[in-house]
Each structure stands twice: as structure tokens, then as C-alpha cells.
Structure 1
């Protein structure tokens, strides 16, 4: 298996950029949001994480399929 390190690092950098957007645009609102997330049970957080991963895999799959 060949790993395209350039693509992997670009994807990682893009993930950091996308993850930082709410903190830049809604800095004053993020504290209550994070506090409410910390009050959620682990099962709820895990479910949200799995859902986000599924959406991410779907987006990557669709993008790869459309570009081929």
C-alpha cells in the first residue's frame, strides 16, 4: 500500500482549518456549547462521533467517486 503523504498532510491541515472556523467566527458562543457537550453522557458523545465519522466517510467517498 502506497501512502500519498502530501494528500494526507493536506487533508489533516484542512481538517484543522475547518475545525477552527467556529472558534474564530463564534468565539463568545463556543464556551457554552463546549460546556453543554461536557455535560453529555459518554454514549451520546460516542454516537455523535460515529455519526460525524460516517458523514466524513460519505463525503470522501462521494468526492472520490465524482472526481474519477
Structure 2
């Protein structure tokens, strides 16, 4: 189980690192736009992403 979680974490790091590595200027603009969003909107987006991830994980492991 720990091996699977570490593998998933490594894949997340790889995917998250592709944007800044390949498109640093566009990534910077995206982060600036994201930082100007209201906190409630960011919280809602984060909650939706976590929910989608949990549902996907449930179906993949279940």
C-alpha cells in the first residue's frame, strides 16, 4: 500500500512539474490570475478537485 501511495505521489509531482518546466511564462501568468480569485472560489475549486479525486480513487480501488 505504501509503495502505491508513493508511486501516485511521484506521478503527481511529475505532472505538476511539467507546466513550470515547459511553459514558465504562461505558468507564471496562470498563477497570477489564480491568486486574484476570491478565496471562496478557490476553496470551491479545491473541494471539487478533492471530491473528484476521491471518487476516482474509490472506483479504481473498489
Is 2:36 aligned against 1:49?
A: no
Equivalent pairs counted in the alignment come to 62
- TM-score normalized with structure 2 length: 0.81
2-side partners of 1:59 and 1:25: how far apart?
Answer: 28
After superposition, the C-alpha distances for 1:33-66 in whole angstroms (9 at most, x for unaligned) are 100111111111101100111121122123224x
Which is higher, the Rg of structure 1 or of structure 2? 1
Aligned-partner Cα distance in 1 for 2:40–2:50: 15
The 2-side partners of 1:20 and 1:47 are apart by 23
- TM-score, length-normalised on structure 1? 0.75
Any runs of at least 4 consecutive aligned residues in structure 1 with deviations exceeding 3 A, and if so which?
Answer: none
In structure 2, which of residues 2, 9, 12 is the aligned counterpart of residue 12 of structure 1? 9
